[in-house]
A and B are shown apart, each in its own frame.
Chain A
């Protein structure tokens, strides 16, 4: 069957099997491998992307179900090479180690900040509670999201060394 949807602002049309999952559609058919494919069971959240503006687990959505809808993946977060504040936050606060969970964490966190620009630690932990990180113990991810909340316009990465001490203790 043929599916057409808008992905990161561009309309795409492909022939797919009805059973194709959205995560494999964006990775294998569109080459957008930023969205990761993890547990296959909607538990781990590595595959989170946005469908019609909301974070969803793309291993549990069919590409056919996404037809006619608007998809946004992690590749769309930066604008013209300028990182989104949430991406900067993960850099500033060491919000990743291996990076496998990071695209999903970024997409969920961006959605959280859009809805709630000043989330508490508890609200951040709730928002990412459907996503696994096996490196950071979540502490640095929570700090990264708080950094983005405190720097809604981002800030120069070269300010990082001076900030590092206070960010870690924040």
Chain B
């Protein structure tokens, strides 16, 4: 039987309450949302918080997907199932449904949250690649107020973020790009598994020219889950197969994969390039209104 080590349980009733509890219990306290990453790690004693602060009662306050000015605002307690089913996200960014469809399984998606996914900071996290591809920003609150961090500056290492001990991620913001297409491509060993490699992209076209592009990568050791050089090379160029392939090759060069039970380095680097190419192709097709 796998059982976590003993801990003290607290339940937060509001964001302010969660912040007060974090302040009171110090650095050995952890927030738990869906719990589908943290609890398994606690069972394996890879994580051993002294205090667990349950924030599921914040789901009403922090569970939303809405338009807010020129951005889409997503509350940190929004569950994966809600992201997958959101008409607003489907209208603006197909990449979300592409990615959510291959994150874990439907029952797990009833519990896991977008905020938990970012804060867990797994190096194979799909939503981290989505956030980097889209140039999302993350709103982090503390007792003193809020600060906004770019998704590409949010992760400070594997399982590490810039969120401080007495801070809480409350919102993910994605800039609107009318007419842009986006897509997510992942290869995994079996349904619901972590990626062997995955790539996400958005492309905004001006005629046949790539006006703007974002590329996100996960599970392949790309710094901050992104490939800026590949984006810079494609921006302003015609959206031809040759140019997309060159960007995909540059994205593969941005990776630093580690060999493990999911495959050797060369295979993962190859996948990163190929999946980036597919994500770019699909983004361009969607931007042109060519569907799927």
Contacts and interface: CB of A to CB of B under 8 A. Distances in A.
B195 to A, nearest CB: 16
B261 interface: no
A2 B14 CA distance: 21
B105 A130 contact: yes
Contacts of A61: 35, 39, 111
A1 interface: yes
A2 to B, nearest CB: 11
A32 interface: no
Nearest to B2: A40
A57 B35 CA distance: 11
Given A54-B110, A57-B107, A108-B107, A19 B35 contact: no
A41 B52 contact: no
Interface in B199-234: none
Interface string A121-135: 000001101110000
Given A17-B6, A18-B7, A130-B192, A60 B39 contact: yes
Interface of B: 1-9, 11, 32, 35-36, 39-40, 43, 52, 54, 56, 104-108, 110-111, 191-192
A127 B52 CA distance: 31
Interface in A29-51: 40-43, 45, 48
B106 A130 contact: yes
Given A40-B43, A61-B35, A56 B3 contact: no
Interface residues of A, number: 27
Contacts of B1: 40
Contacts of A55: 106-107, 110
Contacts of A108: 106-107
Given A19-B5, A108-B107, 18 more contacts: A40-B2, A41-B2, A42-B40, A42-B108, A55-B107, A56-B110, A57-B36, A57-B107, A60-B111, A61-B39, A61-B111, A62-B52, A62-B54, A64-B11, A65-B56, A108-B106, A130-B105, A131-B105
20 contacts: A17-B6, A19-B5, A21-B3, A41-B40, A55-B106, A56-B111, A57-B36, A57-B107, A60-B35, A60-B39, A60-B108, A65-B35, A65-B54, A126-B106, A129-B105, A129-B106, A130-B106, A130-B192, A131-B105, A131-B107
Nearest to B38: A60
A60 B192 contact: no
Q: Which of A57, A60, A126 has the most CB of B within 10 A?
A: A60
Contacts of A48: 107
Contacts of A43: 192
What are the nearest 9 A-B pairs in CB distance? Answer: A130-B105, A18-B9, A40-B2, A19-B4, A64-B9, A130-B107, A54-B110, A55-B107, A129-B105
A50 to B, nearest CB: 10
Interface in A118-161: 126-127, 129-131
A132 B11 CA distance: 33
B104 A130 contact: yes
A55 B1 CA distance: 22
